Amino acid sequence: MPESATYYRGCPVWNCRDWIGTVFDKRASAQDSLRHYAKFFNTVEANSIFYALPPLATVERWMAEAGPGFRFCPKFPKSISHERRLSGADSETDAFIKILETLQHGERLGPSFLQLPPSFNAHSFDTLERFLSSLPKEFHYAVEPRHVSWYDKSDNEQRLDDTLQALGMDKVIFDSRPLFAAQSPDEAEIAAQSRKPQTPVRKIATGNRPFLRFVGQNSTPENEPWIKEWAPVINKWILEGKKPFVFTHCPDEAYAPYFARALHEQLKKLNPLLDPFPAMASDTRTPAREEEQLDLF
């Protein structure tokens, strides 16, 4: 595939037991889930690193299982972002950087993303700028602001965008509009609505690796309006030579690969140079367990 027609697609996790027999072959096991996941996706949000740093030996095993071309996107540990709030976190940051160095050496590192605490507002801009400026320049980063003050369409937002652009960093786009459009009795969706933020959506790229976290409903057809809205934006980034990183989330992660496939198929209509989405073990639009429920009726 031409280098100009590539993007990175992934999910928040690579291990979901409900993917066995639906996305993965039914003979797959939890132990080799990353190897199977990498057949469909070329990136993943390494969210587990937010909670605890893995041993370097574990990281090396991940790289071997994922294979060439795959990119991990580690989330900055909460000890840095939420506990230290970007101040006095030198030792924690140094330990995290060792993970990045290992992934970089193995050619498996994508952008690392820094999720700011919900209460970290624009009054703390100087703290954020100092921290970002101190990070090693050989890695790529994306920043996810959540407080509404970063989205004022005025000085705060412009100052952040200008700083990220000057540093060559991307701003994470967190689009949860499809999730909050749901009015269903689905317990997973109701729970997700209570946890997920409704961050304002800005379709801009401050760097060369646009970073989209796309949160949909479990029912893929319900996400179609937003899929059609995002596909031209992503394709435009690709045609501009950028390398978008797109992660599809669902309240029940069993459905995330189907959401990713629908987005890819819409994107391929605009960009025929993209490879087709690999065939799943069960080539249906929904996980097998939903089909079983429908059969009851």
Residues in contact with 141: Cβ distance below 8 Å, sequence separation at least 6, in sequence order: 111, 112, 113, 114, 132, 135, 167, 169, 170
Q: How many domains does the chain have?
A: 1
Helix (H) or strand (E) holding 213: strand 211-215
Cα separation, 212 vs 249, whole angstroms: 10
Give residue 233's Cα distance to chain centre.
16
Cα separation, 144 vs 126, whole angstroms: 16
CATH number of residue 68's parent domain: 3.20.20.410
**Measured CA distances, 215 to 7, 177, 227 (Å):** 18, 7, 11
Q: How many CB atoms lie within 10 A of CB 289?
A: 12
Give the pLDDT of residue 185: 84
Give the pLDDT of residue 292: 36
Give the pLDDT of residue 285: 45
Q: Which of 72, 20, 47, 5 is nearest to 249 (CA)?
A: 47
Cα separation, 62 vs 43, whole angstroms: 12
* Residues in the chain, total: 297
First to last CA, the chain: 44
Enumerate residue ranges in the chain where pLDDT < 50.
1-4, 285, 287-297
Give the pLDDT of residue 183: 85
Identify the domain containing residue 231 by its residue range: 3-295
**Burial of 295 by CB count in 10 Å (0-12 exposed, 13-18 middle, 19+ buried)?**
exposed
> What backbone torsions phi and psi does residue 88 show, to the nearest 5 degrees?
65, 35
Alpha helices in 114-223, H assignment, sequence order: 125-134, 155-167, 177-180, 187-195
